[in-house]
């Protein structure tokens, strides 16, 4: 379900205590990249633990449309027989990326330097999101895009027949833009250089190296300078997708605010470009520990243990941490509602152009449930209610945004009168087992018959 089906209204009632083990699904960012890079390698890439959420399934379908053989074996095991860098075929129909900004932006990058033409679209949420941030740098390679006003989808991209390499300073902190440029650089001769002023998630750089591309990263006064040598022969890989810290955030935060809870969330990657939420929660006084801290595939991994934390305090979340927790602000605002004092979140303009305007979506729904929120264009402040708790009792709009829907359902598990969302359908894009997983821990979730 990515906004194409009937709405699924859902209510979370005061729940708990939440107890047990929460095995969250595979990482969404790494799942998309595994399929796309697998499609650009010659030979068979094997993937285990792939997130089988709608966003990633839409990317799998797109890779088939560009000529790769993508096979599902069950239980998160997939294989991809890739066509090689520059080997994409022209799709016979429109590519529908559903709800996924990551999917459409990375795929546009991957095809932009091949002599093929493709038309992209998505659901009502994706069709509102800005694509100029990707098509502008892709034009420097020689690709041409024609979309709706403001570069919105549906959009047709004509790949460059004779691409040139690019040096590009990413103007917004966005791993999707950085990744689109790097993927386009794969089929340009010579060196493509991408500079980001703020470090964003670095999965593309790491995985490109893993697939055998020549990539160097240097920290300079200008920012992080990533240099890719074009036209490599990517070698197929065996990839075990780690579990998603952005999905782990939901059972972790639920345990912190639901009385008496004690939840273990095993095998979560703590790549520093993704782990900002957990650091923030610990600064707020959360009883959140990293057990069995170890290294896997060159990345820190731990089992997260979260216990009910009645004494949390609001904090100033450093703006420079924003990129490492950009998807976690909605659920952080829920935890902040239960803390004592204000939580101020500056430097988050990007939240306005996610699957929804996440500051507005959360502010409206939190206020309806009894929480005071102030906001500006690139900041917001949640006034925590501390021991008074959150009244709840209202219906919040999910706005075709999985993280907004999950955040309000977690709010409802700890609020006095529960909380409803108008549509829990979008949750399937990133966390298809959210409902049974949270129910097994002790959450009370009810589907409301429409």
Could you give the string, one character per residue 84-103, with x where binding to ligand S3P holds by CB under 6 A and - elsewhere? ------------------x-
Distance, in Å, from the CA atom of 56 to the CA atom of 26, rounded to the nearest integer, reads: 10
CB of 102 to ligand S3P, least distance (A): 4
Q: Toward ligand S3P, which CB reaches closer, 246 or 309?
A: 246
Helix (H) or strand (E) holding 240, with range, is strand 238-240
Residues of this chain, 305-344, that bind ligand S3P according to CB under 6 A: 326-327
What's the closest the beta carbon of residue 277 comes to ligand S3P, in angstroms? 13
Q: Does 174 bind ligand S3P (CB under 6 A)?
A: yes
| Contact residue for ligand S3P among 262, 350, 357, 360 (CB under 6 A) | 350
2 binds ligand S3P, rule: CB under 6 A: no
- From residue 268, alpha-carbon distances to 24, 27, 148, 290, 303 in Å are 9, 9, 40, 10, 6
CB of 309 to ligand S3P, least distance (A): 26
Catalytic residue (one of 55, 327, 422, 423): 327
Distances (CA, A) of 239 to 44, 49, 290, 295, 329: 11, 9, 24, 16, 29
CB of 190 to ligand S3P, least distance (A): 25
Q: Name the residue nearer to ligand S3P (CB basis): 29 or 135.
A: 29
Contacts of 112 (CB under 8 A, 6+ apart): 138, 141, 143, 157, 159, 160, 163, 180, 183, 184
* Rounded least distance, CB 326 to ligand S3P, Å: 5
Among 29, 247, 271, 429, binds ligand S3P (CB under 6 A): 29
Using the contact rule CB under 6 A, the part of the chain among 7-15, 71-79, 169-177, 411-419 near ligand S3P is 169-177
If binding is defined by CB under 6 A, does position 224 make contact with ligand S3P? no
Question: How far is the C-alpha of 234 from the C-alpha of 37, rounded, in Å?
Answer: 8
Active site includes 327? yes
The distance of Cα 48 from the centroid of its chain, to the nearest Å, equals 19
Pick from 45, 54, 179, 324 the residue near ligand S3P by CB under 6 A.
179
Q: What gap in Å lies between CA 365 and CA 361, rounded to an integer? A: 6
CA distance 167 to 215: 14
Indicate the Cα dihedral angle 150, 182, 115, 39, nearest 10°: -110
271 binds ligand S3P, rule: CB under 6 A: no
Distance in angstroms (rounded) separating the CA atoms of residues 264 and 301? 14
Q: What's the rounded Cα separation, in Å, for the pair 81 and 67? A: 9
Write out the residues near ligand S3P by the rule CB under 6 A: 29, 102, 174-176, 179, 201, 326-327, 350
Report, as residue numbers or ranges, the catalytic residues. 327
């Amino acid at each position: 379900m990515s906004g194409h089906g009937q709405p699924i209204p859902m209510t979370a009632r005061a729940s708990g205590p939440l107890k047990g083990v929460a095995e969250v699904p595979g990482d969404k960012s790494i799942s998309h990249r595994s399929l796309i890079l697998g499609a650009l390698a010659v030979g068979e890439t094997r993937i285990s633990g792939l997130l089988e959420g709608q966003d990633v399934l839409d990317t799998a379908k797109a890779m088939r449309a560009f000529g790769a053989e993508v096979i599902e074996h069950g239980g998160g095991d997939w294989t991809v027989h890739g066509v090689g860098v520059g080997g994409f075929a022209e799709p016979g129909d429109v590519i529908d990326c559903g709800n996924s900004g990551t999917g459409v932006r990375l795929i546009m990058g991957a095809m932009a330097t091949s002599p093929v033409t493709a038309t992209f679209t998505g659901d009502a949420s994706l069709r509102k999101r800005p694509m100029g941030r990707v098509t502008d740098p892709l034009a420097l390679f020689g690709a041409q895009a024609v979309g709706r006003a403001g570069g919105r989808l549906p959009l047709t991209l004509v790949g460059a027949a004779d691409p040139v390499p690019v040096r590009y300073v990413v103007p917004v902190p966005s791993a999707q833009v950085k990744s689109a440029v790097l993927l386009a650089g794969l089929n340009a001769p010579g060196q493509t250089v991408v500079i980001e002023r703020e470090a964003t998630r670095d999965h593309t750089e790491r995985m490109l190296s893993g697939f055998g591309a020549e990539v160097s990263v240097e920290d300079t006064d200008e920012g992080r300078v990533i240099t890719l040598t074009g036209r490599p022969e990517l070698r197929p890989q065996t990839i075990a997708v780690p579990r998603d810290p952005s999905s782990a955030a939901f059972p972790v935060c639920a345990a912190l605010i639901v009385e008496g809870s004690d939840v273990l969330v095993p095998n979560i990657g703590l790549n520093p470009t993704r782990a900002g939420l957990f650091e923030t929660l610990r600064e707020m006084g959360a009883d959140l520990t990293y057990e069995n801290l170890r290294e896997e595939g060159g990345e820190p991994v731990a089992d997260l243990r979260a216990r009910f934390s009645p004494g949390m305090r609001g904090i100033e979340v450093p703006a420079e941490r924003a990129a490492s927790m950009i998807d976690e602000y909605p659920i952080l605002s829920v935890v902040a509602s239960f803390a004592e004092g204000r939580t101020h979140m500056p430097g988050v303009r990007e939240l306005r152009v996610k699957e929804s305007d996440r500051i507005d979506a959360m502010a409206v729904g939190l206020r309806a449930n009894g929480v005071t929120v102030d906001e500006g264009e690139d900041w917001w402040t949640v006034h925590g209610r501390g021991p008074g708790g959150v009244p709840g009792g209202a219906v919040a709009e999910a706005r075709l945004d999985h993280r907004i829907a999950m955040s309000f359902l977690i709010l409802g598990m700890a609020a006095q009168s529960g909380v409803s969302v108008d549509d829990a359908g979008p949750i399937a894009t990133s966390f298809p087992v959210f409902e049974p997983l949270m129910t097994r821990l002790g959450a009370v979730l009810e589907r409301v018959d429409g």
